[in-house]
Amino acid sequence: MMKKLLLLTVVGLYTLTSHGQKKTVDQRVDSVLRLMTLEEKVGQMNQYNGPWAATGPLTNDDKLLDQIREGKVGSMLNATGVARTRELQQLALQSRLKIPLLFGQDVIHGYRTIFPIPLAEAASWDMDAIRQSARIAATEVSAAGVHWTFAPMVDIARDPRWGRVMEGAGEDPYLGSMIATARVKGFQGNGYGKTDAVMACAKHFAAYGAAVGGRDYNSVDMSLRQLHEVYLPPFKSAADAGVATFMNSFNDLNGIPATGNSYLQRDLLKGQWKFKGFVVSDWGSVGEMINHGFSKDNYEAAMQAANAGSDMDMESRSYIQHLVKLVKEGKVKMTVIDDAVRRILKKKFEMGLFDDPFRYCNEEREKAQWNNPAHLSAAREMAKKSIVLLKNNGVLPLAKNSGAPRTIALIGPFARAKSDNLGFWSYDWPDDSARIISVFEGVQRKTGPDTRLLYAKGCNVNDTSTAGFAEAIAAASQADIIILTVGEARDMTGEAKSRSSIRLPGVQEELAKAIIATGKPVVVLISAGRPLVFNHIADNAPAVVYTWWLGTQAGDAIADVLFGDYNPSGKLPMTFPLTEGQIPIYYNYYSTGRPATSDSDRFYRSAYTDLSLYPKYPFGFGKSYTTFEYSDIQLSKKTFSAKEKTDVTVTVKNTGNYDGEEVVQLYIRDITGSVVRPVKELKGFRKIWLAKGESKEVVFTLSVDDLRFYNDKLQYIYEPGDFVVYVGGNSREVKEAGFTLLK
Ligand code: NOJ
C-alpha cells in the first residue's frame, strides 16, 4: 500500500504543473530530473546486457538485479519477452524514483519472422517494401516487451571483405539515405510511442564502414569532405526522419575514437543537426578507448565519452563506476550529465513508459504476433524482390508442369538448408525447422507429379572433403535440370566476420565446376551476406541467381522466381569485384589525371596491368526475364538557372516476353568543379512495372539541390557549369545527355 501511494505521488509530480495544468514532456522531464540524485542520474546513463544472451564479451557482475532496484540502470539490452521484461520492469519500479527501464535489442531484419538481410532488401530498391519489413519487425518485437531496436545500420560500405556489409544498404549515399529513412519510419511507425512501434537507432556513427582493409573495428582516416559527402548522408536522413537514437562506433575517425569524438557527437549531431534524441555507445566502446590508446583508464574513458556527447554507456560499466566521481572532481560538468539524462528521460516519456511502464507487456498481443500469416507473406514478397538475376541463357524460368516426366536435381550444401537462410543477426526459434522453407521444399511445392526431385549435398560449406562429389555428379547426370546451391554459411558474414578471400568457401567452387562440366542446364543459386567472387560460375553456368540470405520464406521466394511466378527485379546495391585485388571498388569514384577509358589503354589508366578496369557486375545491375529498351533522354531545358528545374524524360519499353519490373536509375556527373567530382552519382530512381510490349515515360526533375556537393570549406553548394545526366538500368549501361547550370 505504502509503495502504491509513493508511486502515485511521484507520478502525480510528473504529470501536473503547480496550477494543475498538464505538463509538457520537457516539463515532466525536468520535474523528474529535479528529484534525482547524481547517482540516479548516472544510473540512467548505464545500460547492461541481460544476463541471458551476449553479443559481446560479458563483464562480470552478479549484482545486476540489485542495481536495477537501486536505480543504477537506465536500460537493458537482450532482455526480450513479456514475462522477462515485466519482471525486470517490476524491479525498476522498486527503485526510489520508479523510473522505468528501456529495453533494447538488435532487431536487424526481423524478430519472429526473419526477413532478408538488409543488404538483400536494399537490392529491391523498393522503399515501401523496406519500410513494411521494418514495420513488421517492430510490431513483432514490441509485442515482446521491447522498446528499442539497434537498427538501422546506415554505414556506407565499399569493401565486401568487411563482414558487416550485410547489415547495411551498400555503397551508395543516395540509395543508403532513402533506405535509412524508410527503415526509421518503418520501425518508428510514423511516431514511436504507439505500442506497435519501437525507437530506432542509426548506427554506427560514424564511418565504421570505411575500416581499413575491411577489417572489423579498424581505424578510419579520411578527409572531412569524404566523410560528409559519402558516409554521413544516411545518418543525416535518419536524423531528419526523426530517428530516436544514434549509436556511436568502434572505430577511431582521424585519430579520435568515435565514442570520444565531440566533433561527431556534439558539433555535428547535437549541434548542426539539432538532434534531440540520445546517443548510446556501442558495446563496450567507452572502455575500448583504452585499447585505442586514447584513454589511460576507465575513469578517463568515461570522462572523454561523456564530455564528447555519448549519453549512454553500453556494457563498458565505465559510467556507473566513474561518472559520479568525475562530476565531484569537476572533470565532467553537471550540465553534461543533465543534458544526457534529459535526453534519455524524454524518450522514456515519449514512449509512454512513465504513464504505463508495462504498456509493452501484453501476453495476448505477444501471442497474436507469434504466428502472423500476414507477416510470413510479407517476408516472402520482400524476399522475391531482393533476389538478383545475374545471368540467364534462357534456362529460366523453369516450367512448373513439364508435360512429360522430368528430373530436377537439387545439389549443394544449401539445397536443404534451414537456418543458413536466416543469415547473421537473426533469432533461432524452436520451431524453425518447420517454419523456414528450404529451397528443396520451395521447389517441391511448385512442381507436380511429373517431376522427380533428386537431392545430393555434394560437399559441406567449408571443409576440404570431396567425398560427396560422386553422388552429386551421379544425381546431376540423371537430371534434366540442375539447381546448384552454393554460398556462405550464416555466420560467415556479420560482426567480426571479415574475410580476406571472398570466394566460395571450402570446395564449393570445385563442386560447381564438376556439375557445370556435365553440360546440363544448371541454375546456380548463390546465398551469401556480401558480394562474392565466383568467376567460373559466372562465366560458365547457364543461369546465376544471387539469393543472399532471404529469411524464413527463402525457399518459397526462390521457387517463385525459378518457376516464373515472380519476374526478378533486384539490382545490386554494391559493386561485385572481379577479384579481391580490385577492392575497394565502387561506381562513384573520382576521375584521375590519367583516367582509363578501356582495358586497352596502356598508359592512361588508373588500374592494374593484370586486371580489367571493370568490376564483374556494376552497381545497380540486375537482369529480368524480360528486356527493357531505353529511349534517348529528353531534357525540358538544356540550360537552366538556379531558380529553375529541368525535367529528364526517358521512355522505357518492355521488349521481351514477360511482364516485369525495372529500376530506372538516374545518375549525374558534374564535369568541372572547385573540387573533383565523382564520375557518376545516383540522384534518383523509379521502380516501374511494364506489361509485355508496354512503354512508359519516366520523368525525373532535377534542381540545384541535386547538384550540390561539399566544397573544400565543407559548404554544401552548387556550382554553375556543365553536367551530364545518365539514365539506365544499371550504373554502366546508360543513355546520356548534357546540360548547363547557368550563373
Ligand atoms: C555490437 C554491434 O556493433 C552493434 O551493432 C550492436 O547493436 C551491439 N553490439 C549490441 O548487440
Residues with Cβ within 8 Å of 451's Cβ and at least 6 positions away in sequence, in order, are: 402, 405, 406, 407, 408
What's the angle, vertex CA 648, arms to CA 645 and CA 653, rounded to 5?
160
State phi, psi for 524 to the nearest 5 degrees: -100, 125
**Closest to 369 (Cα-Cα) out of 87, 116, 553, 141:** 141
Blockwise average pLDDT, block size 10, the chain, 743 residues? 43 66 93 98 96 46 83 96 93 97 98 98 98 98 98 98 98 98 96 92 98 97 98 98 98 98 98 98 98 98 98 98 98 98 98 97 96 97 98 96 92 98 95 96 96 98 98 98 98 97 98 98 98 98 98 98 98 98 96 86 76 95 98 98 98 98 98 98 98 98 98 98 98 98 95
CATH domain 628-741 topology? Immunoglobulin-like (2.60.40)
C-alpha cell recorded at residue 153: 545500420
Side chain identity at 601, as an amino acid letter? D
Ligand 1: atom nearest CA of 78 is: 11
Provide the pLDDT for residue 13. Answer: 53
Best of 314, 497, 498 for a ligand 1 pocket test (most atoms within 8 Å of beta carbon): 314
Report how many helices (DSSP H) and strands (DSSP E) the chain contains, helices first.
22, 27
What is the maximal distance between C-alpha atoms in the chain?
Answer: 86
Q: Would you state the pLDDT for residue 585?
A: 94
Assess contact for 113 and 140: CB atoms under 8 A.
Answer: yes
Residues 6+ apart with CB under 8 A from 602: none
* Nearest in space to 484 (alpha carbons), one of 532, 537, 445, 441: 537
Does ligand 1 come within 6 angstroms of the Cβ of 55? yes
C-alpha cell at 608: 592494374
Q: 411, 581 in Cβ contact below 8 A?
A: no
pLDDT at 5: 39
> Are 45 and 302 contacting, i.e. CB atoms less than 8 angstroms apart?
no
* Beta-sheet pairing, 252-253 with 256-257: antiparallel
Look up cell 529553375; give the residue. 644
Query: What's residue 604's pLDDT?
Result: 67
CA of 108 to the centre of ligand 1 (A): 10
214 touches 159 (CB < 8 A) = yes
For ligand 1, the distance from its centroid to the CA atom of residue 287, given in whole angstroms, is 15
**For 165-258, where are the E strands, in sequence order?**
201-205, 245-248, 252-253, 256-257
Ligand 1 proximity of 164 Cβ (cutoff 6 Å)? no
Residue range(s) occupied by CATH 3.40.50.1700 in the chain: 380-565
Q: Which CATH number fits domain 380-565: 3.50.50.60, 1.10.10.10, 3.40.640.10, 3.40.50.1700?
A: 3.40.50.1700
pLDDT at 9: 40
Our answer on whether the CB atom of 171 is closer than 6 Å to any ligand 1 atom is no
CA of 634 to the centre of ligand 1 (A): 47
Q: How many angstroms is it from 609 CA to the middle of ligand 1? A: 41
DSSP state string for 55-72: SSPPPP-S-HHHHHHTT-
Dihedral sign of CA atoms 223, 228, 229, 234 in order:
positive
Contacts (Cβ under 8 Å, ≥6 apart) of 275: 239, 246, 269
Structure letter (DSSP) for residue 580? G
Residue environment code for 618-643, b if the CB has 16+ CB neighbours within 10 A, otherwise e: bbbbbbbbbebebeebebeeeebeee
Question: To test the ligand 1 pocket, which listed residue (58, 80, 105, 106) has its Cβ within 8 A of the most ligand atoms?
Answer: 106
Question: What are 261's strand-pairing partners?
Answer: none
What are the b/e assignments for 140-171, b being 16+ CB within 10 Å? bbbbbbbbbbbbbbbbbbbbbbbbbbbbbbbb
Ligand 1 atom with minimal separation from the 203 CA = 5
Cα torsion 82, 200, 619, 736: sign: positive
The cell for 273 is 543537426
The answer, as to whether pTM is greater than 0.95, is yes
User: What residues does CATH 2.60.40.10 cover in the chain?
Assistant: 628-741
Is 282 marked active-site?
yes
